[in-house]
Amino acid sequence: MNADVVIVGSGIAGLTAGAILSKKGKKVVIVEKKAHFGGALRQFKRNKISYDVGFHYTGCLGRGEILDILWRYCDVLKDISVIPLSIKGYDHFEFPDRSEPVYGYFSYEQFAAELLRQFPSEKHGIDTYFSEVQKICSEVPFYNTEFSLTAFLRGYKSRPRSLVDFLNTITKNVHLRAILSTPAFLYGVPIRQASLEVHAMVAHGYYLGAYTVAGGGQSIVDSFLSTLTRLGVELFSESDVISVEAENGAVTGVKLASGEKIFCSQVIFTGHPAQIVDMVPGSTFRPAYKTRLRELKNSLSLFAVFGRGDRRLDTLSGALNYYLLPSKGEVVPENCNTPHHLRPMMMTSTRSGKGESLHPDRNGIILLRLGYWQDVVQFEKSNQGQRSDEYEEYKMKIAREMIHIAEERWGDICGTIETLAVGTPLTFRDELAATEGCAYGAMHCLDQFNPDVRTRLSGLYLCGQSILMTGVAGASISGLVGAGEILGLEALWEEVTKCT
């Protein structure tokens, strides 16, 4: 089989790159190792309830914002029903030692006003925080599309500043620090390792306004799949790419585990960058680059309970996410020895069925708690379907603890929770092909330079959440950049940004 470009992985990064390249006339093949397309965006079902894994909400989908523009350009937005989240307060931040929740409004003005109401003596710190986040993002092309994308990507990257050092200069209030740090939950980096710049880039999108999608992540995937099919893209599932073939320093194709080869001159790899090292001929990368990729530190993982409440959680007029944050220490602790009950946890619900936000009879509840690879490393050799009784007991014990806390704290809104599925870092490793079960790929943190989209091997590009920025927005934008490196970056950027 021949193609112009083979895209390895069908998560949002691969789907975005595929839509752009095929629209521009390239013959594209997307190859996915799992049985279903969509990567972390796909849903799974238990007892007729559809559960999202890697998509609950996102920023950047407001009219004229980058995801709106990009998905419009990809011709997928017409089939995606974007739901702006209630301005009444979509994240509820709660602490064991604080009676009233703090409402995380998705608007700079309203969020700042709520924080001032709750922390009246902290005006200077609150103002400084929001103005610094806005200042950092004012020159980021994803947020201000008048700026050149090429200059931003190739420009000198100044040394990132520490989020903790910054917070130290603005407030000593433990609860306020925790709330301002909470976006770290959306990029999976312990606060001590978080950089102010990455924090700002992720948080800014949500502070401008947060959105979900009717039918959840699956409807985003379905919309991309229908456009890709219409554009003639060939998609193969259950096809594991085991190597990228090259000759004279340039890509010639990929080889699948089945032995089949697809010949092409360009490959976009969207899996974890550490995995590419053993997929290319041994002399392709310099030893230092190989070591850098292999030793990339990974973002944190999660424990997840997918259950059913006996009350309906109305996430569109109430809160979307109920957070229980620790009162002591950092909100996202560095140390895996942090006892489970001192880790942040959140409750959200499912948004099932296209065209409807919630199914009245199917009160799908999702509980997420911070997890570390070290929590499950003793079980790492086990595969799905063959786990030990010891692991099953461990997993269910954690699920029971999480349910107990959720029912105790939020029982009046979710009722009694029945467990339908439980995920651990091991589940994420196996289900999402995520090294060490990391929820957000390689960490975007203080002392780590994540790899560039371009590689030393001509025709090989790296995209996905580990490269530019995390989340659906970050991964989708990386797909745009990958396609841009093939088509001409700045010309594509100009074309995409006109698509308002």
- Nearer Cβ to ligand FAD (57/166): 57
State the minimum distance, in angstroms, from the CB of residue 351 to ligand FAD: 11
Q: Helix, strand, coil shares of the chain as percentages rounded to 5? A: 40, 20, 40
Query: How many alpha carbons lie under 13 Å from residue 35 in its C-beta half-sphere?
Result: 4
Nearer CB in complex with ligand FAD: 90/166 = 90
What is the smallest separation between the CB atom of 428 and ligand FAD, expressed in angstroms?
6
Q: How far is the CB of 167 from ligand FAD (least distance, A)?
A: 23
Choice between 39 and 183, CB closer to ligand FAD? 39
Q: Which residues of 38-74 are buried (b: 16+ CB within 10 A; e: fewer)?
A: bbbbbbeeeeebbbbbbbbbbbbbbeebbbbbbbbbb
Backbone φ/ψ region at 153: left (φ over 0), alpha (ψ -120 to 50), beta: alpha
In the complex with ligand FAD, which residue's Cβ is closer, 91 or 114?
91
CB of 298 to ligand FAD, least distance (A): 12
Closest approach of ligand FAD to the CB of residue 10, in Å: 5
Strand residues in 406-477 grouped as ranges (E): 417-423, 460-462
Q: Which is nearer to ligand FAD, 126 or 213 (CB)?
A: 213
Token pair, residue 247, equals 């000759």
Question: In the block, which residue shows the tokens 């013959």?
Answer: 27
Q: At its nearest, how many Å lie between ligand FAD and the CB of residue 123?
A: 31
Nearer to ligand FAD by Cβ, of 33 and 175: the residue is 33
Q: What gap in Å lies between CA 303 and CA 305, rounded to an integer?
A: 7
CB burial of 291-325 (b: ≥16 within 10 Å; e: otherwise) equals ebbeebebbbbbbbbbbbbeebbebbeebbbbbbb
Asked if residue 246 lies in contact with residue 457, where contact means CB atoms within 8 angstroms, the answer is yes
Distances (CA, A) of 172 to 123, 126, 166: 13, 12, 11
Residue 500: name the closest of 149, 79, 67 by CA: 67
Q: Rounded to an integer, what distance in angstroms lies between the CA atom of residue 299 and that of residue 276? A: 18
* Shortest spacing between CB 182 and ligand FAD, in angstroms: 13
To ligand FAD, the closest distance from the beta carbon of 434 in angstroms equals: 6
CA distance 154 to 76: 29
Q: How far is the CB of 389 from ligand FAD (least distance, A)?
A: 26
- Report the 3 state secondary structure along 223-287: HHHHHHHHCCCEEECCCCEEEEEEECCEEEEEEECCCCEEECCEEEECCCHHHHHHHCCCCCCCH
Residue 85 vs 433, nearer CB to ligand FAD: 433
Nearer to ligand FAD, 196 or 467 (CB): 467
Strand order in the sheet with 364-371: 98-104, 91-95, 321-324, 345-349, 364-371, 301-309, 417-423
| Residue 193, CA distances (Å) to 126, 189, 370, 464 in order | 22, 6, 16, 21
Q: Which is nearer to ligand FAD, 176 or 213 (CB)?
A: 213
**How far apart are CB 326 and ligand FAD at their closest, in Å?**
19
Q: Which amino acid is at 283?
A: S
Closest CA to 235 of 482, 464, 35: 35
**Least distance in angstroms from the C-beta of 491 to ligand FAD:** 24
Q: How far is the CB of 128 from ligand FAD (least distance, A)?
A: 27
CB atoms within 10 A of CB 169: 9
Q: What is the CA radius of gyration of the chain?
A: 22
- Residue whose CB is less far from ligand FAD, 100 or 278: 278
| Cβ-based nearer residue to ligand FAD, 176 or 365 | 365
Binding-site ranges for ligand FAD (CB under 6 A): 8-14, 31-34, 39-41, 53-58, 240-241, 270-271, 302, 428, 432-433, 439-440, 464-465, 470-473, 475
Closer residue to ligand FAD in complex, CB, 8/489: 8
Task: Using the Cα atoms of residue 484, residue 485, residue 491 and residue 497 in order, give the sign of their dihedral.
Answer: positive
